[in-house]
Amino acid sequence: MEVKIGIQNVGRELIVESGQSPEDVAQAVADAIRSELGLLTLVDEKGRRVVVPVGKLAYVEIAEAETRRVGFGTA
């Protein structure tokens, strides 16, 4: 699953490929916003941690993985 994170005053977005479900990521964002530490922590598919201060978040876009079609059929 792909998670795009927009950070204030940064021209490029941060893209994380995560094995977590969309519901888990949404819950992690909500928990980070409510927490005293104010840090959003996600783990990518390779096990690397991405930590972003909640105060710098502009947006978080959560997209489910697309299933890729193979072949030329229209079905």
Map residue 54 onto helix, strand or coil. helix
> 6-29 pLDDT, tens per residue?
999 999 999 999 988 999 999 999
Asked if residue 48 has pLDDT above 60, the reply is yes
* Residue 2: strand pairing partners: 17, 63
Residue 70: DSSP 8-state: -
- pTM value? 0.78
Question: Hey, CA dihedral for 4, 42, 16, 39, is it positive or negative?
Answer: positive
Residue 75 has pLDDT above 60, yes or no: no
